[in-house]
Amino acid sequence: MTLSLEIPSTYITSEEPQDSTVITASSGAKYFSGSADTEMNLTDTSINIENENWDKPEMNEIIIDGVDDFVIDGLTDLKLDCIFNAIHGTPGEDGKMQKYFEDKNIPITGCNSYQSKLTFDKIACLNFVSSKGIKVASSISLSNSEKIDIDEIENKIGFPCFVKASNSGSSFGVFKVYDKEEIVNCINSAFEVDNKVLIESFIDGREFSIGVISLNGGIKVLPITEIITSNDFFDYEAKYEGKAKEITPANISEKLESELKFLSEKVYNLLDLKGLSRSEFIVNDKGIFYLETNTVPGLTTESILPQQARCAGISLKELFVNAINEAII
């Protein structure tokens, strides 16, 4: 099947923090380079999203006018066959863009708006997964209208702990806190990112990332990556600026590999996902603990999922074409 994508959404940027915009643009560039030798007719353009208007900054040209009209470079009545979503943060990971295009009956890669919203909300996702019997860290959730109870945090969660903005990607609004003198400032900083905050106990152990994807009508679990960071945790610098060692495939026993792959596929099915995903786990002598799932994994040179796909003998071209075919069928 020949596909024509007049507006590839990989180059759409948003009012996210600048670092998130950079990640999105880099993932978009990887998408185009990986798709260059396909039968797709691709034209890239950079678009800003601001509230209801999407515009090209260099021309100040609104490209979505009203409900259904798409305009680029003076061309009107453009048909969007499919949106390839590689936008990090809002609106690409939290269900907003998915809902926008669902309402217009325009296919978009990846999971639907409900699953996107669920997985992007750390509190909601952990509550759902733990209710299905998956181990997670002890945690407390707070809204910005609630009083911060330091004694409860110390007694139930302990230190060190993590403070995380509930709706945030790429480790924005995430802090590792070592004592109660730091906790209030870190919680308030997280509230600057989202109005809900997760306070989570620190689990000492080995960290693993496992890609699970839809491929050729089935589900495929990719080779496992162990993450060894030189930073305090797998933060933005570690993820995108080379401050972590990522070992693919991970040097682990067959038993642990089997358990991790089983759990990651179970999470994928429980969350009713499709397309590309990556789930994170911590392993220690108390078991395997689920951390989170990313439904719009990075596609930059440093990103984990492309490493795993390459290790499995899957090209970026195959990943991208399969994701689009799945969306339009």
pLDDT in the model for residue 75? 59
Spatial separation of the C-alpha atoms in residues 280 and 282, rounded to whole Å: 7
Predicted TM-score of the model (pTM): 0.81
pLDDT in the model for residue 142? 94
Tokens found for residue 96: 């907003």
Spatial separation of the C-alpha atoms in residues 41 and 37, rounded to whole Å: 10
Tokens found for residue 325: 């075919």
Question: Which sign does the torsion angle of CA 146, 147, 150, 156 carry?
Answer: negative
The enclosing H or E element of 142 equals strand 139-143
Task: Indicate the length of the chain as a whole number.
Answer: 329
Structural domains present in the chain: 4-111 (3.40.50.20), 118-134+204-328 (3.30.470.20), 139-201 (3.30.1490.20)
pLDDT in the model for residue 113? 95
Spatial separation of the C-alpha atoms in residues 241 and 204, rounded to whole Å: 23
Asked if residues 69 and 272 have their Cβ atoms less than 8 Å apart, the reply is no
∠ CA 160-116-78, rounded to 5°: 140
pLDDT in the model for residue 263? 98
Spatial separation of the C-alpha atoms in residues 181 and 59, rounded to whole Å: 50
Spatial separation of the C-alpha atoms in residues 268 and 312, rounded to whole Å: 19
Asked if residues 8 and 32 have their Cβ atoms less than 8 Å apart, the reply is yes
Asked if residues 119 and 127 have their Cβ atoms less than 8 Å apart, the reply is no
pLDDT in the model for residue 308? 96
Per-residue pLDDT of the chain (329 residues; tens, 9 = 90+): 222 233 333 333 333 444 455 545 555 555 555 554 445 555 555 555 554 555 444 444 444 444 455 555 555 566 778 888 888 888 889 998 899 889 888 899 999 999 999 999 999 999 999 999 999 999 999 998 999 999 999 999 999 999 999 998 766 789 999 998 999 999 999 999 899 999 999 999 999 999 999 998 899 999 999 998 765 644 444 444 555 789 999 999 999 999 999 999 999 999 999 999 999 999 999 999 999 999 999 877 678 999 999 999 998 888 888 999 999 88
Tokens found for residue 35: 């798709």
For residue 295, the 8-state DSSP code is: S
pLDDT in the model for residue 62? 40
Spatial separation of the C-alpha atoms in residues 135 and 138, rounded to whole Å: 9
pLDDT in tens, 187-201: 999 999 899 999 999
